[in-house]
Amino acid sequence: MSTFEVKAYPELWQSLDMDVERVTKACQMLGQVYEQSFLSQQNRPEGMAYFDEMIAELHGERIKELLAAKAEGRPVVGTFCVYIPEELVLAAGGICIGLCGGSQGSIPDAEKTLPRNICPMVKSAYGFKAGRICSYFQVADFLYGETTCDAKKKTWELLDRLIPTHVMEIPQCKRPHSIALWQEEVQAFKTKMEETTGKAMTEENLAQAIQVMNNKRRALQRLNTLRHHTPSPISGKDSLLIEQIAFYDDPLRFTQQLNTLCDELDQRVQNQVSVQSQQAARVMLAGAPMALPNWKIHNLVEGAGAVIVNEESCVGTRYFKDLIDESVTGMDKMLTALTDRYKEIDCSCFTPNNERIDQVIKEFHDSKAQGIIHYSLQFCHTYNIEEVRIREACEQEGIPYLSLESDYSLEDMGQLQTRIEAFLEQLND
């Protein structure tokens, strides 16, 4: 009998026109999986209690907060990519929530419309809305997509039939004229937010929003740096969970709670306290993002006795490694500084993408990892092809390396477990 519950709010869900029966069952299943994956860990930091509660209230109290904000005239904007500037949503008085899908359960809903042979993240996200099984899709006023892959940018056309979906064009190169286009897109996003709220965005509001997001990134950077200690004071699973929650929690509260946890982790580092064995193999993960509730690879790696100490992904370091210059003044210069920060994100959609290759190697050394696992989602062509260059760089550096390609189903768990355990044996030799 499960003792952890993702709390049910049938009346609230009914008011949001959700499929209450399906959502109730999904929450029951998520609660069981969460207890097995997270609460079964020994010696977890006490500060994780806040993040456990965020999962328990995943479709309850946080949704009530968003509805209260909407009642005050604050728009709720759903996004699918770390290239969409959250600062502009905050500066306009809105709330930004990440909507990427990481569940197999919503994919059949998507495959009624979308092709089977596209990215599971895209299908999962579309299926959440099509099946009316995600409260965050139901509460959002509109969505902002982007053009980082073909599957996404064509899906936005169909998603727009279900909920207003606007698209920001992200250039595929970082040449000067490409960056100029990007700056125009950022300006257009600012205009969209101003039209939505009926208010002009001020320099003061934008400066405050930049500071809020920079402080959130600093807290995530602090967590990641603490993970790099030997032994790591927190599991990779819990760190991934925190990174996932960062996309939908209130940024001020999240930052405060994460810094409180990091204070505890500082003490654990001093006392050499860890969740895994102090001799646990240290693994860095690189590649495609892992949207909530995709904990598949982390469960397998840490279930085999290792510890994941870094994620080079859009849910991981790509989301928080760079800050916006807070000393810049003047709206135009602030927007330029904002764009400058976002173009430092090294998504595999860019070509050439030497910066990401270098960043992977840098993060490997910074994290004191012993090996790298590169994770790609099925049919994610950019990551699957760029994996060739990551593998070549690791071979040149003499870094133990394993490439995995998977989806959200459980069908390949045995095969993945066998390959991961063999890789970890290599690290322990």
Q: What is the mean pLDDT of residues 273-287?
A: 94
Task: Please provide the average confidence, as pLDDT, over all residues in the chain.
Answer: 97
Would you say residue 428 has pLDDT above 90?
no
Our CA angle for 327, 329, 335, nearest 5°, is 100
> Residues 226-278: pLDDT tens digits?
999 999 999 999 999 999 999 999 999 999 999 999 999 999 999 999 989 88
Cβ within 8 Å of residue 288, ≥6 positions away = 121, 313, 314, 375, 376, 377, 380, 383
**DSSP count for the chain of H helices, then E strands:** 19, 8
Q: Are 63 and 136 in contact (CB under 8 A)?
A: yes
- Region 344-368 average pLDDT: 97
| pLDDT at residue 3 in the model | 86
- Answer yes or no: are the C-beta atoms of 236 and 309 closer than 8 Å: yes
Tell me what pLDDT residue 1 has. 43
**pLDDT of the residue at 2:** 55
Q: Is the backbone peptide bond immediately before 231 cis, with ω within 30 degrees of 0?
A: yes
pLDDT tens sequence across 78-114: 999 999 999 999 999 999 999 999 999 999 999 999 9
Q: Which amino acid type is present at position 284? A: M
pTM greater than 0.75 (yes/no): yes
Query: 176: which 2 tokens?
Result: 């000067």
**For 407-421, how does the pLDDT look when each residue is reduced to its tens digit (9 = 90+)?**
999 999 999 999 999
What percent of the chain stands above pLDDT 90?
98
In order of their start, the domains of the chain are: 10-201 (3.40.50.11890), 206-324+330-338+345-428 (3.40.50.11900)
The rounded radius of gyration (Å) of the Cα atoms in the chain is: 21
Burial of 418 (C-beta count, 10 Å sphere; 0-12/13-18/19+): exposed
Distance separating alpha carbons of residues 261 and 75, to the nearest angstrom: 30
* Total residue length of the chain: 429
Tokens 């209130």 belong to which residue?
250
Looking at residues 20-42, what average pLDDT do you find? 96
